[in-house]
Amino acid sequence: MTLEQEIAKRRTFGIISHPDAGKTTLTEKLLLFGGAIQKAGAVKSSKIKDHARSDWMEIEKQRGISVATSVMGFNYHDIKINLLDTPGHQDFAEDTYRTLTAVDSVIMVVDCVKGVEMQTEKLMEVCRMRNTPVLCFINKLDREGQDPFDLLDEIEAKLKIKVHPLSWPISMGKTFKGVYSLYEKSLKLFTPSKTKIEEAIEILDINSPELDQYIGESYAIKLREDVELLNGVYPELDVHDYLSGKVAPVFFGSAVNNFGVKELLDTFIRLAPPPLVRETTTREVKPDEKKFTGFIFKIHANMDPKHRNRIAFLRVCSGKFERGSNYLHVRNDKSIRFSNATAFMAQDRETVDEAWPGDIVGLFDTGNLKIGDTLTEGEKMIYTGIPSFSPEIFKEVINKDAMKTKQLEKGLLQLMEEGVAQMFTYELGKKKVVGTVGALQFEVIQFRLLNEYGATVEFAPQHIYKACWISSTDEKKLAEFIASKQRHIALDKDGKLVFMAESKAWLQMVQDNFPEIKFHFTSEFKD
C-alpha cells in the first residue's frame, strides 16, 4: 500500500466526557464491534475480575475510574482505528489536554440524565482551541432523561458549538423504543441486551404504516412530528462545518446495551478526518510527506509491574516510522534508535515493524524522552501545542523514609515526566513542590511511589495561587527580579524559571512593579 492509501484508511480519535457519562463503556463496545475483544469488562463492579479493558492500572480497578489515557488500535471495515480513551475525572484533566493534541477528532459522551457538565465544558474549550472535529453521543437512553430537544439546546448553549442530530430517540427510559437514523432513513428497535446487536430496519418512507407496526401508532405520530421539525431546523449536514469544528453531529443510544453504537461507528469512519496537517516551530507538516516525523504526547512508567519499563507514546505525523531506524531526537540533537516498538490494546501489546501517520506507537525508553519531544529524519523542528498549564493545587513533598531518598527522587522524576503532575524545585533550599489540577492526583502519586518505587511520602499544603513561567528580553532586569524574589523562584522539570505567586493580588502588584518581566500561565510561550 502507498503512503497516501495508508493515511486514507486511518482514523485517530479520543473519547471525552464527564465522569460516569459512560465513556469507558462506550470504548468497550467500540472494541467489541472492531473484534478487538470478545466480551466487555465491568467498569465499576469490584466483584467482577474482568475489569474494563481500558482501565488496567491497579488504582483504577480499585476506584472504578480512569486515571490514565489508554491507547487502543483495531480494524473496522478496512479502516485502522486508533482510539485514545481519556480520564473523565477532572483531577486528571491535564493528561486529557495532552491526549487531545495527538488526535484528529473527538467523540464526546453526554449523559442524557445529567446533560452537559462542567468537565465537558473544559474539554470542549481545549477542542475549540485546535478546531478539533467533534461527534456527540448522548448516552443512557434506557434511563429517564431530559427531553432530546432540550439536550440539543443545552449542548449548543454550554459548549458553544452548533449541533446536527443524525439519529433520533423514540421515547426514553422504560418506554424507550429505539432510534430512527435521520442519516440512513432506518429504524433500530431497542431490546435491553449487553451482548446482542440489533439489525436496522430500513424505512424508506417515514409515513409508511409499517412504522406503526414496529413502534405503535402514538410513538409513530410523535416520531413523524419530531422528524418534520428536525428537517426544518437542520438541513443537510455540511461535512466541512463538522471537519472545521463548527458543527457536532449527534447520535443517541445506550452504550451499556450495545445500542446506537454501531450507527455511531459506521458514520464516524465515513465523516471523521484522516490524519491532518500539524504545526511545528518552523512550518506546517503534511502527513503525506515522505520523511518520518512524530512527537511524544504521553509517557508511562511501569506498565508491566514485573518489568520496570518506561514507554513513550509517539504520534506519527508524517512519513513512515520503521523499527530499528535511526531518528533525530531534536531537543537533544542526538540520533536515537528504537529496536522495540509496540502497538497497544490497553496493556496488551505487540511488536510493530512499521507505523504510518495517525498511528500511536509505544517506544521503550530509558529516560531520554520527555512529553513534547519531536523525532524526525534529520530536520530540526519541534511540534507545538503541547504546553503545561499552571496547576491549581500545590503541596510540598515530605520524604517519610530517608533510606529511600534515591527511590523517591527516581519515582518523582519518572512520574513528572509521565505528566501525572508538575514538580517545582525552589532555588533556595531545594524544596520540592508538586502541583496538580485536582486533589485525587496526590493519592495516585502517593500510591504509585509506594507500590512502584518503595518510597513513602506525605504532602504538606502550600499557599500558592499560581505558577507563572517568567521571561524577559532584558537579561539584567530578569536577573534583578530573580534576586529580589529568590524565595519565590523555582525551576520546573525542564529547568525553566517559574515564579510561585502566593495570591492573585500579590501577583498583580508584582506584575505592575516589574513591567519588563513577562508572566506566562502555560509553559509554551513566545517572547
Give 418-475 as a 3 state SS string: HCCCEEEEECCCCCEEEEECCCHHHHHHHHHHHHHHCCCEEEEECCCCEEEEEECCCH
Evaluated on CA atoms 185, 187, 193, 195, the torsion sign reads negative
Q: Is residue 194 part of a domain?
A: no
pLDDT band at 87 (very low <50, low <70, confident <90, very high): low
Tens-digit pLDDT profile for residues 263-316: 899 899 999 999 999 999 999 999 999 999 999 988 876 555 554 567 888 999
Q: Is residue 181 part of a domain?
A: no
**Mean of the pLDDT values across residues 405-434?**
88
The number of beta carbons lying within 10 Å of the beta carbon of residue 100 is: 23
CATH of the domain at 97: 3.40.50.300
Strands 134-139 and 247-252: parallel
Tens-digit pLDDT profile for residues 193-207: 655 555 667 777 888
Look at residues 37, 13, 9, 4 and name the one whose alpha carbon lies nearest to residue 315.
13
CA distance 180 to 2: 39
**Residue 256 shares a structural domain with residue 282:** no
- Predicted confidence at residue 386, as pLDDT, reads 72
Q: Is residue 448 part of a domain?
A: yes
Strands (E), 302-451: 310-318, 321-322, 326-329, 334-337, 341-345, 348-351, 354-355, 360-364, 374-376, 393-399, 422-426, 432-436
The domain in which residue 427 lies consists of: 393-520
Domain count, the chain: 3
**Residue 299 shares a structural domain with residue 328:** yes
- Which residues are CB-contacts of 56 (< 8 A; sequence separation ≥ 6)? 70, 346, 347
* Residue 46 predicted with pLDDT over 50: no
- 452 and 413 Cβ atoms separated by less than 8 Å: no
Tens-digit pLDDT profile for residues 368-406: 888 889 999 999 999 987 767 778 899 999 999 999 999
**Residue 356 shares a structural domain with residue 454:** no
Evaluated on CA atoms 446, 14, 362, 319, the torsion sign reads negative
Q: Is residue 220 part of a domain?
A: no
Q: Three-state SS for 180? A: strand
Tens-digit pLDDT profile for residues 435-479: 987 787 898 899 889 988 999 999 999 999 999 999 999 999 999
Q: Which residues pair with 351 in a beta bridge?
A: 342
| Average predicted confidence (pLDDT) for the chain | 84
Q: What is the share, in percent, of the chain residues with pLDDT greater than 70? A: 86
- Predicted confidence at residue 187, as pLDDT, reads 84
